[in-house]
Each structure stands twice: as structure tokens, then as C-alpha cells.
Amino acid sequence: MGQRRRGKCTPKTCCCVFCCLLITTITGILVWYFMLFKTEDQGPASCGDCFCIVGEGEVCPSEAPNSNVTTDLVDIYVKRQTIANPYDLSCDPFSNTNCRTSPAQDENLLGLGDTAVCAIHAVDPAAECQESSYNLKSYASQEEAEAAGGVVTHLGHCGVCSTLQDLAVYLQNPTLATEGKFCSAKNTISIEGGAACYLNLGMTEACAKVWAEAEFHTFKECFTECFLKDITQDQANNGPFPECALNSCLQCDADNSAETLAKIAGRTMRRSGLLSPVARKCDEIAMIEHQRCPQTTPL
């Protein structure tokens, strides 16, 4: 019996197949690019005439958080002042419910939420501000921290992003959500790639790690809300006044990743009294003025 000859790709057919694959690949890359790298310069958000979302029966605060950032302040935080007792993270809190920081955070203080605070204490108050080191310590309240001679740097328990170096990144990147969206593209390849992106922004290693893990978790849990919808429509961060509700992507992130990120990171934009392109409830935004060389008492 004669053998059937396999069909061969003619030059014309091969060319058509190659062109189709090339067009598909380029289209996929363009969609991926605009979906994950689409960035816009956005100033601080507002809800109506207020910098925050006013609750029912409440009025807009008379003063907004101080968002003035000087190069000198950032330089001091990044290059001059050194953390003496940093938190570290060797596990993924989004995939491991038993993941803990090192040293471990106090569960009782974590339970207080934003009533607790993270404060700074200089190691040697006689040292020059430009070359000083500091400790972080969590307290049950701002009053308790100040009574102990500390200066509050953010609300909530201290965590891996509580350092002044990480604060400098937050100060320099008020649109950190936009930069985070850029870094999330690296997370489609690996969490390590996303962490490297955050490191390039200036974050400490542990802080970059948890941000990358949070982005990857959101990518998995909120793919439809955050990425597929972004192809077909340009989602505003907030809905119309007076509710100014979060868009579906930000709400999905809040439901799936934000709580764990805030717990492990400690520092967030809101907890640090920093405004962003996303309008938040007024009672969620701290009123903190970050000082260049605060006067504190050693632990």
C-alpha cells in the first residue's frame, strides 16, 4: 500500500502563518503594555470640594495633610538616617497565613488597627541629624508614644515599610499606585522581577518584597476587574460625588490584598498622612507632619 505523503508548507502558506503569528504576538504585547504600563500624571484626588470622602453627617476637615516635600528632607531620610532595628520578611503573607515578620509584630497592638502608632526614637540624641540612627517602636496610642519621647511616623503597628527610607519613596511617589501598576508588569514574569522594580524606586528589600507579593496577589485575584476591564474602558479611581466609591479594581484590591499589605508593611500612604490619586475616607487619613530631625528620647 502506498504511504500518504505529509502535506508540506508552501512558501505562501508559511508566510501567511508566520504573519498571523507575528500579528497575534505584537497585538498581545501591545495589549499587555497598555494594560499594565498605561500611566498618567495624576495629582491628589478629591471628592467634590474635599480632599477626602466625607462621611454622612460629617464635614470636610478644615486642613488637609501637609504634602510639601523638600529634596533636603528626602536626602536626610534616604542617605543619612539609618534604621537600627528593621523588620524583615522571609515568607509570603499572601500565600502563607502563618507568615510573620522578624521580629514578630505584637498581636495585641495589631488588633488596635490605626489606633496604634509607629514611632521613631533616636539612638543617640547627641549625634548629628545628618548621621544618626533610630529605632522603631509600636505603641497603643499617639499619647503613649509621645509620653515615651517618640515621634509618630505613621498610624498602625510598625512593619517592614516603616523605615524613613521607605517613607522617602512614598514622599517622592505620591502616585505610588501608578508606579505599582508599572511594577506589577514585572510580576507577570516573577515576584522577584516586581521586587527588583520596587527596589529601583528606592524601597528597602523587605518593603519591596511585600509590595511585589501584594501586586502579584491582586493580579491573580482581580485579573478581570483590574486588567481585562482596563482594555475596554478607562476606569476613574473614584466614582461620582458624593459617594466617590472606589472603582472595581481598587475595591477588589481592597477586598483581597490591602489589609495584609497594611499589616505587614505597617506604613501606607494614608497611615503616613500622604494624599494620593485615590480619594479615601477622611477618617482613614492621618494628620502627620514629617520632620527633618525630630527631637526624641532613646529607648
pLDDT single digits (tens) 215-233:
889 988 998 888 776 656 6
Tell me what percent of the residues of the chain surpass a pLDDT of 90. Answer: 59
**Whole-number Å distance between alpha carbons of 180 and 201:** 10
Does residue 64 form part of some domain?
A: no
**Whole-number Å distance between alpha carbons of 7 and 285:** 68
Does residue 9 form part of some domain?
A: no
Helices (H) and strands (E) in the chain — how many of each? 12, 4
Which residue range forms the structural domain that includes residue 100? Answer: 71-284
**Looking at the predicted structure, is the pLDDT value of residue 243 above 50?**
yes
Does residue 206 form part of some domain?
A: yes
**Looking at the predicted structure, is the pLDDT value of residue 26 above 50?**
no
* Residue 27, pLDDT score: 44
Q: What angle do CA 205, 284, 48 make, to 5 degrees?
A: 120
Does residue 258 form part of some domain?
A: yes
Give how many domains the chain has, as a whole number: 1
Q: Which neighbouring-strand residues pair with 246?
A: 238
Does residue 46 form part of some domain?
A: no
Q: How distant, in Å, are the alpha carbons of 19, 229, 231 from that of 24?
A: 8, 20, 16
Strands across the sheet with 117-122, in order? 82-83, 133-139, 117-122, 151-155
* Residue 37, pLDDT score: 45
**pLDDT, average across residues 150-155:** 97
* Residue 78, pLDDT score: 81
DSSP code, position 285 = S
Of 67-76, 111-120, 140-149, 237-246, which gets the smallest average pLDDT? 67-76
**Whole-number Å distance between alpha carbons of 295 and 299:** 13
* Residue 117, pLDDT score: 98
Cβ atoms of 156 and 117 closer than 8 Å: yes
Four-residue CA torsion sign, 182, 184, 189, 190: positive
* Residue 14, pLDDT score: 62
* Residue 235, pLDDT score: 79
* Residue 209, pLDDT score: 96
Burial 218-232 (b: 16+ CB within 10 A, else e): bbebbeebbbebbee
**Which amino acid, 200?**
N
Four-residue CA torsion sign, 119, 183, 91, 95: positive
* Residue 266, pLDDT score: 98
Does residue 14 form part of some domain?
A: no
Of 46-55, 217-226, 230-239, 254-263, which gets the smallest average pLDDT? 230-239
Does residue 116 form part of some domain?
A: yes
Question: φ, ψ for residue 107 (rounded to 5)?
Answer: -60, -35
Which residue in 26, 41, 25, 35 sits closest to 185, CA to CA?
35
Does residue 195 form part of some domain?
A: yes
**Looking at the predicted structure, is the pLDDT value of residue 12 above 80?**
no
Torsion of CA 86, 92, 93, 94, to 10 degrees: 140
**Whole-number Å distance between alpha carbons of 221 and 224:** 8
Q: How confident is the model at residue 9 (pLDDT cuts 50, 70, 90)?
A: low
| pLDDT winner (highest mean) among 13-17, 64-68, 80-84, 204-208 | 204-208
* Residue 101, pLDDT score: 98
Q: What's the distance, CA 226 to chain centroid? A: 16
